[in-house]
Structure 1
């Protein structure tokens, strides 16, 4: 991949995750500031995760049939931008949820497609994926770390207007990929094995789902857990920043780790580290030092694990024609079903046992994922790394 191509792909990740860095931490604050209660906030997040389940598989099928997949990418990003602008007018009533639902469908549809395009462009150098994906983490960090301060000064109504430029950047970056070539046509004389039945696929999907399930307490209650143990807003923001900075550094180093240890061993180490991380958050949340140490684990829990998953996807689905559908399947299982179930599990555990119970449950999910992952070793050995 040439430097110009690298910048083209990195720009999309920067814009997409910059927008996500605004949405994930601050959509609840905006909804609450408009007078809605916890159920409305929960419904908005449920629609978001529901979009991750429904959109990627359907979108992937249409992209696979299209002679111009880049046009689909541009269209999806443009529609997401236009629909999100609807929040400037609709912030109450049924239309609030309609806008959220449509936005979730289109915004969640395009990333699996682009992940597939990135891996296809990298070809045999798929271990370099982390260096490109790192720019998404940079965008997330810039926005998540600064928008709280900006909203305090500009008011919560500025949330939509501050997010729209990042969505516009994503659409502009997608335009640079409008002429990307389609996947090779399927040879009708060759029987195509169903992706779901390919050896190792179901276990990889289950591992990713369980990892995302374990992240449920973190995404929903991490800030509340810290506040309940006496940490102020500055400390909470600093801990989030530590995690994202470690994530960025790991994405830069991930290619070397994947090449040296292989995806299977790296993912196993990530699952062990994640179980330890959630255990620390469960029982030592009153200590800033222990929480800072736990946040460094985000390098393994998120960045290295994600890079390992991408490597395994490239190994399991080397044909370009399969990659978009495979990425949609992974995205729907982990971020979609795993996200919905993880949020529900976290809420139940938090309600009945507090933060300790929620994060112990998250650690348990990571350990179960490790057991499932170990069972894939014989399949990993059968596929060249």
Structure 2
């Protein structure tokens, strides 16, 4: 791999290391401030909601710039400054207000960076997984260690403990300040709205439903495991297993894509994920089966995401890459995330509990699989 690509690995590492602090522990911090479930839910809703609006707005600002790297650096600086606002907030309204601003910037920069990465890879988008794997490593190291740090320093220490990670992200972004914009798309790709490109709407719907299927996992997996008698250490081990498998698969993804093609692999990922959520719904008492289900994260997340990036490079070449990434990010992780979280919460509060929540996750993924199998114009 070209040594110049290592700076992309560094930013993935720092960005997802910060996410490894935010995702598992923001709820614990809010609870430590004395707020209830409505505020925690509001934080989650704002997190996913800003994923819908931030990427397209940011893409509109950066898409025509001759210095997109400077916009990217500014976005990371604003992410750091807005997160620092958590140091000075305690009241519910203030916490939610800072969350809204922080989410707008933090969720805006990654789609732009994904486009920059695909542009740098040029004719080798299959190497994406070997860069993205460093994000998984960063997430694993922080998510696995920050719980102990918060045990020692208290839940309210979360903003102070996490701020250095966002500073590191800004430093990693500095290396990209002079990145050039992608080359113009070929004439054959110049016409038509993004939505009208062959296969794009089907692809986005599949990605949305896959993300919705993950809703119960991201929101209630730990509680579901606890309800079935697993210890905190066992649950932590299951989380770690999933991320470790994810890391290994990101490294191998280029070879698999080159051998089988992104289209065929994407279908396999959807099928395996349906089985994963059904196992989690109905066999949560078995630690062995839960370990097997977590091992499938290699396909459910790592391979699926690498295949998506391979397909995105074909759907949105050249200067369309930034707008395409914002569309993908907002549609799948934004709308899909909101839909999945709402679906999971309603199921969890019903008599069906975790079993119903994960069954609905399997149903959403099965629908995505059916849409995938019925495709006619999908390019791979």
> In the alignment, which residue of structure 2 is the partner of 1:172?
171
> In the alignment, which residue of structure 1 is the partner of 2:2?
2
* Mapping of residues 243-282 of structure 1, within 5 Å: 243-282=242-281
> In the alignment, which residue of structure 1 is the partner of 2:330?
332
Deviations 1:90-143 (A, max 9, x none): 121322111100000000000000000000100111000000000000000001
Q: Hey, what's the Cα distance between the residues in 2 that align with 1:34 and 1:248?
A: 34
Q: Secondary structure at the match of 1:230?
A: coil
Q: Hey, what's the Cα distance between the residues in 1 that align with 2:93 and 2:357?
A: 32
How far 1:59 moved relative to its partner?
0.5
How far 1:154 moved relative to its partner?
1.4
> In the alignment, which residue of structure 1 is the partner of 2:149?
150
Q: Which runs of 5+ in 2 are unaligned?
A: none
> In the alignment, which residue of structure 1 is the partner of 2:54?
55
> In the alignment, which residue of structure 2 is the partner of 1:376?
375
Q: Hey, what's the Cα distance between the residues in 1 that align with 2:189 and 2:321?
A: 17
Q: Which runs of 5+ in 1 are unaligned?
A: none
Match of 1:349 among 347, 350, 373: 347
Deviations 1:52-77 (A, max 9, x none): 00000110111112111001110000
Please report the TM-score for the alignment, with normalisation by the length of structure 2.
Answer: 0.97
Please report the TM-score for the alignment, with normalisation by the length of structure 1.
Answer: 0.96
Query: Is the 8 Å Cα contact of residues 185 and 320 (structure 2) preserved in structure 1?
Result: no
The runs of at least 4 aligned residues of structure 1 exceeding 4 Å deviation read 185-191
Q: Hey, what's the Cα distance between the residues in 2 that align with 1:187 and 1:12?
A: 29
Aligned residues: 379
Q: Secondary structure at the match of 1:182?
A: coil
Query: Is the 8 Å Cα contact of residues 198 and 377 (structure 2) preserved in structure 1?
Result: no
> In the alignment, which residue of structure 2 is the partner of 1:18?
17
Q: Closer, same or farther in 2 for the Cα pair 1:189/1:27, shift >3 Å? A: closer
Query: Is the 8 Å Cα contact of residues 64 and 183 (structure 1) preserved in structure 2?
Result: no
How far 1:370 moved relative to its partner?
0.5
> In the alignment, which residue of structure 2 is the partner of 1:66?
65
Q: Hey, what's the Cα distance between the residues in 2 that align with 1:143 and 1:172?
A: 18
How far 1:187 moved relative to its partner?
9.0
Query: Is the 8 Å Cα contact of residues 76 and 109 (structure 2) preserved in structure 1?
Result: yes
Q: Closer, same or farther in 2 for the Cα pair 1:189/1:248, shift >3 Å? A: closer
How far 1:379 moved relative to its partner?
2.6
Q: Hey, what's the Cα distance between the residues in 2 that align with 1:185 and 1:210?
A: 32
How far 1:149 moved relative to its partner?
1.2
> In the alignment, which residue of structure 2 is the partner of 1:123?
122
Q: Hey, what's the Cα distance between the residues in 1 that align with 2:322 and 2:64?
A: 11
Q: Hey, what's the Cα distance between the residues in 2 that align with 1:332 and 1:376?
A: 22
Q: Closer, same or farther in 2 for the Cα pair 1:7/1:225, shift >3 Å? A: same
Deviations 1:226-268 (A, max 9, x none): 0000011111110000000000000000000111111111010
